Chains A and B, each alone.
Chain A
């Protein structure tokens, strides 16, 4: 079902059409082959590692925060089912109720699709103590507009004024003046979380995606041509528009050059970034689970000395389940579980899991009482979780009471999302919270990182 304000969300980034079409069209045009053919005999690794290497070398074990957005407003009750109060739950969800939640103890059960994926899916990650749920997350007086609520989460401010994303502010405060990889959107466009940064940030989906081709100019000739492009882009005009254009030109070339050695060779099928674990969706994941494909490249790029510090990924599907909630969760939540559990297994296999923490969020919760279309309407008190080798496992915040709702019949909020942001900044990134979040002083904290 189409809800009135959903249209107000960010088209560029969220258009379901963008990715498959651009990728497919590029492949149709034979670009993948052109690029890879050349990359096969491309420059040695050493040359590729420049500013990123410098900042990565300065802090090789610097913590990385991965931010995964689940669009539409994922339902808490059917994702982490309150089996301890199943009767009340079933009263609220006579049609939708999950018949056989997978017990995780403590009076809770997971949606069955969360067992999908490597090593038992997200349930497996949870059982190993590497996943901590944050039920009831939202903010006081929740705004039930997708657009407004996302904007709050994206900026870390309860304000409709335009402004840079909270991760952009973190980059500005703590980032490197030259390295665009430090703030990375695994997407065709920059996530609003990173938009507005004064320091360089990047949007790229894969090494292949970062490359360009020039008709009639190939191989070392293109390298030479790009040297002249870079010489042109080295100019630093003062006015804001030209300054942004020239910075983007320099940074996009830097990203392309740096990632060029890692482009998959379509002819020999040699993929320098081949993952150590099996991701869902077949060899290249295309068409079936683009989310997993983005995570696969992210894990591989995190293992390179690129100096990535914060990264954003968007989950597949649309969880705005005004109707057909059960079907959506069965298909799309399974993809989330498959992608994230493969990502976690990959990081562990690469031996870099200790320095990566993933936060998964959605813009709001859903109404506890189901509607008449086998769905749920916009509500409050949603769900988020942290995942990682050093994440604190279990339930990290109180689960909302199913018997007392707010005045709009929504769940009562048990934790402010800004408390989670502030905790991530302090406990994980090890930087001050109030310099990024003006409200950090009054929102409290949640222990998100395991002791020791």
Chain B
């Protein structure tokens, strides 16, 4: 990937790829809007916001509801993830939302009280495209995180190593980042001093109590001094393993192609040179040729929540049911409940017979309601097979399909329309509707629909 090559071809397929990888897909009209402009303008909009296909609106579409009522993310089961899903579906800052998802996976926290989880999510959104040190500081002092990784109430008498270890292993340096068990212990000492305030019925709050902090001399990653928690964060972010670790992870979030060492070095330079800002690195990745590789054959497995949000976004439907909470869970991803502090396993690991069946079920729940459901009387029995396929594509937001799928869709339409034909060649109405229902479902349930 060279600088000179950027800004090359820009087609509708490029725009579609960018909007999926940097967001949650888009309606055909939105894709056309960006295809008519340029890669630079599309990336600008994704990174900085501003006027897009819907003007300056921040959210587009109906407010979320479940069982006919507004959401109650604090008290109702599953409404926390619906509250977030709504943003993924309606936000006109889709990259910010996509990166919020990235940071939720990166700083994976679970099982904490809903108010704390939502507060953590807001911080991740606020810093999604900001500077990493600010995000890391916000996460280190975050009550949900501190409670989850036993940092709260870790004091000089008994420093808990949980957060110190994950800080280096998962958040900043990587498991081969060059730190030792000694560094973990020393960082744990330096991170002492946070004290929890537990009051019945109130969310956990945390205060820093200098008296509980171990203010002795520590030695961390080659640096010596009476280090405190801010020193620890400063030292790990400056460590030579950090920039390559973080840019590599960001790359693999957006791109399936391997990251060439030269590109990794360049991205690391951009990151460090910008004082650890996230946006410049992401911008480089979104502009890279590798992001647009294999436009005819996408290789990235959609995260389950991305498939749900994407389906809704493509067809312009809002969050109107709490079914998405359990469907997402069955698909293998329940936001606010990552499997462990290491987040979810990506790629091929999303797939099993059970999760694939759940993805099929996702298509069922899209196609059983408006606007995708086949409305009685809207299907013309005189449509030819090719027109049926075209109508089904239009009704489902024109998802990507492979030539094999195209061939099978047409074959299905031909076959379905040929059964039970009345004298004179007329296709019964129910049969035309059934054909349309089967096509729409296959467009959203086939294996192609799990890739982007």
Q: Measuring CB to CB, which residues of chain A are less than 8 angstroms from any residue of chain B? A: 2, 4-5, 7-12, 15, 17-18, 21-22, 25, 147, 162, 180, 185, 187-190, 195-196, 201-204, 210, 212-217, 221-222, 224-225, 228-229, 231-233, 235, 237, 239-249, 251-252, 255-256
Q: List 22 A-B contacts (CB under 8 A).
A: A4-B160, A12-B334, A147-B340, A189-B332, A189-B354, A201-B353, A202-B353, A202-B354, A203-B354, A210-B357, A212-B360, A212-B364, A215-B368, A216-B373, A216-B374, A225-B442, A241-B256, A242-B297, A248-B351, A249-B446, A252-B360, A256-B357
Q: Is the CB of B447 within 8 A of A204?
A: no
- Is there contact, CB below 8 Å, between A11 and B110? yes
**Complex formed: what's the CA distance from A204 to B356 in Å?**
11
Q: Given A239-B299, A245-B451, answer yes or no on A15-B353 (Cβ-Cβ < 8 Å).
A: no
For B347, list chain A residues within 8 Å (CB).
240-241, 244
Interface of B is mostly: helix
Q: A190-B354, A203-B354, A252-B356 are in contact. Are A221 and B330 (CB under 8 A)?
A: no
- Contact between chains at B301 and A255 (CB < 8 Å): no
With most chain B CB atoms within 10 A of its CB, the pick from A25, A189, A224 is A189
Looking across the interface, which residue of chain B has its beta carbon closest to that of A192? B339
Of chain B, the residue at the smallest CB distance from A202 is B353
Quick one: which of A185, A214, A228 contacts B367, CB cutoff 8 A? A214
* Given A4-B160, A11-B339, A212-B364, 9 further pairs, Cβ under 8 A: A5-B162, A22-B326, A224-B412, A232-B408, A232-B442, A232-B446, A244-B348, A248-B351, A249-B447
Q: Of A7, A18, A248, which contacts B110 at CB under 8 A?
A: A7
Select which of A215, A224, A243 is within 8 A of B437 by beta carbon.
Answer: A215
Bound complex: CA A215 to CA B438 (Å)? 8
| B10 contacts the other chain (CB 8 A) | no
How far apart are B381's CB and chain A's nearest CB, in angstroms? Answer: 15
B75 proximal to A (CB < 8 A)? no
Instruction: Select A214's contact among B300, B333, B356, B437, beta carbons within 8 Å.
Output: B437
- B60 contacts the other chain (CB 8 A): no
Q: Does B405 belong to the interface (CB within 8 Å)?
A: yes
Whether A252 and B357, one on each chain, are in contact in the complex, defined by CB atoms closer than 8 angstroms, is yes
Contact A11 B338 (CB under 8 A): yes
Whether the Cβ atoms of B450 and A228 lie closer than 8 Å is no
Q: Contact at A11–B334, with CB atoms within 8 Å?
A: yes
A235-B402 in contact given A22-B329, A241-B347, A242-B451 (Cβ < 8 Å): yes
> How far apart are the CA atoms of A296 and B451 in the complex, in Å?
36
The minimal Cβ–Cβ distance linking A160 to chain B, given in whole angstroms, is 9
A252/B348 in contact, CB under 8 A: no
User: What is the bound-complex CA distance between A9 and B330, given in angstroms?
Assistant: 17
Judge whether B383 is part of the interface by a CB distance below 8 angstroms: no
**Interface membership of B150, Cβ < 8 A:** yes
Kindly list chain B residues whose C-beta atoms are within 8 Å of the C-beta of A10.
339-340
Tell me the chain B residues, 381-425 only, with Cβ under 8 Å from chain A.
402, 404-405, 408-409, 411-412, 415-416
Chain A residue with the shortest CB-CB distance to B325: A21
Residues of chain B lying within 8 A (CB to CB) of residue A240? 347-348
CB-based contact B111/A217 at 8 Å: no
B337 at the interface (CB under 8 A from A): yes
User: Chain B residues near A212 (CB, 8 Å)?
Assistant: 357, 360-361, 364
Q: CA–CA, A241 to B368, complex, Å? A: 28
Residues of A within 8 A of B356 (CB): 245, 248-249, 251-252
Whether B352 sits at the interface, judged by CB under 8 Å, is: yes
Task: Give the distance in Å from the alpha carbon of A33 to the alpha carbon of B221 in the complex.
Answer: 62
User: Could you tell me the distance in whole angstroms from the C-beta of A24 to the nearest C-beta in chain B?
Assistant: 9
B445 at the interface (CB under 8 A from A): yes
Residue of A15, A222, A225, A242 ringed by the most chain B CB atoms within 10 A: A242
Choose from B298, B299, B300, B353 the contact partner of A180 (Cβ within 8 Å): B353
Among B160, B353, B433, B447: residue with most chain A CB under 10 A: B353
Closest 5 CB pairs of A and B: A216-B437, A244-B348, A248-B356, A203-B354, A215-B368
Q: Which residues of A contact B334 (CB under 8 A)?
A: 11-12, 15
Report yes or no: A228 in contact with B329, Cβ–Cβ below 8 A: no
Most-contacted residue by chain B among A216, A244, A256 (CB, 10 A): A216
Judged by a CB distance under 8 angstroms, whether B441 is at the interface is yes
Q: Are A189 and B355 in contact, CB atoms less than 8 angstroms apart?
A: yes
Closest to B368 in A: A215
Q: Which residues 335-381 in B have Cβ within 8 Å of A in the complex?
A: 337-342, 345, 347-357, 360-361, 364, 367-368, 373-374
Q: Which A residue's beta carbon lies closest to that of B149? A: A4
B208 interfacial contact with A, CB 8 Å: no
| Complex Cα–Cα for A256 and B299 (A) | 26
Cross-chain contact A18 with B408 (CB below 8 angstroms): no
Kindly list chain A residues whose C-beta atoms are within 8 Å of the C-beta of B348: 240-241, 243-244
Whether B320 is near chain A, meaning CB under 8 Å from some CB there, is no
Which of A4, A201, A215, A216 is the one whose CB lies under 8 Å from B162?
A4
Which residues of chain A are within 8 angstroms of B350 by Cβ–Cβ distance? 244
Residues on B with C-beta less than 8 A from A203 are: 352-354
The CA of A384 and the CA of B340, in the complex, are separated in Å by 26
Contact A11 B297 (CB under 8 A): no
Decide if B340 touches A245 in the complex (CB within 8 Å).
no
In chain B, what residue has the closest Cβ to A181? Answer: B353
Kindly provide the distance from the CB of A23 to the nearest chain B CB, expressed in whole angstroms.
10
Which of B326, B332, B434 has the largest count of A CB atoms less than 10 A from its CB? Answer: B326
Q: Is the CB of B445 within 8 A of A190?
A: no
B350 CB to closest chain A CB (Å) equals: 8
Q: Give the shortest distance, in Å, between B263 (CB) and chain A (any CB).
A: 20
CB-defined contacts of B445 to chain A, threshold 8 Å: 214, 229
